[in-house]
């Protein structure tokens, strides 16, 4: 299997878009640039696109858009809460800010709920 690469221009745009948001940190996922909130993955650059975790109902709606497909890294089966946004021009990811913000809010909420649940055990 050929090694998947990523577009460094996408990373530059996403760094400028996401890293100023409180609690967001850069990292890696399987060696690819990734973004975390509360130490939980919410987005990663993979191939020519960006994988983003959103609520399942949001993912279902977004998949009707021409530039959004199921996120299937390394040939994995489709994941119900993940989409991949494919933009030819890196700067166009700026128009997806609402999707990234929804992802951050979702992952933060899930992470907070998990933390609260673990504290009550």
The predicted model gives 40-67 an average pLDDT of: 96
Q: How confident is the model at residue 15 (pLDDT cuts 50, 70, 90)?
A: very high
CA distance 71 to 63: 10
Give the position of tokens 């979702």: 106
Q: What string of DSSP letters covers 85-105?
A: EE-SSGGGGGGGHHHHHHHHH
Return the pLDDT at 120. Answer: 59
Q: Exposed (0-12), middle (13-18) or buried (19+): which is 39, by Cβ within 10 Å? A: exposed
Q: Any idea which architecture 8-116 has in CATH?
A: Alpha-Beta Complex (3.90)
| Pairwise CA distance, residues 8 & 13, whole Å | 9
Reported as a single tens digit per residue, the pLDDT across 69-103 is: 999 998 889 999 999 999 999 999 999 999 999 99
């Amino acid at each position: 299997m050929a090694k998947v690469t990523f577009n460094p221009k996408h990373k530059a745009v996403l760094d400028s878009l996401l890293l100023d948001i409180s609690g967001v940190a850069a990292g890696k996922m399987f060696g690819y640039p990734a973004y975390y909130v509360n130490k939980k993955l919410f987005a990663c650059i993979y191939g020519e696109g960006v994988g983003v975790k959103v609520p399942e109902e949001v993912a279902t709606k977004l998949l009707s858009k021409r530039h959004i497909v199921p996120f299937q890294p390394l040939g994995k089966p489709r994941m119900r809460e993940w989409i991949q946004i494919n933009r030819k021009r890196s700067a166009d990811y700026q128009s997806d800010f609402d999707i990234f913000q929804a992802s951050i809010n979702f992952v933060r909420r899930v992470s907070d709920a998990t933390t609260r649940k673990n504290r009550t055990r």
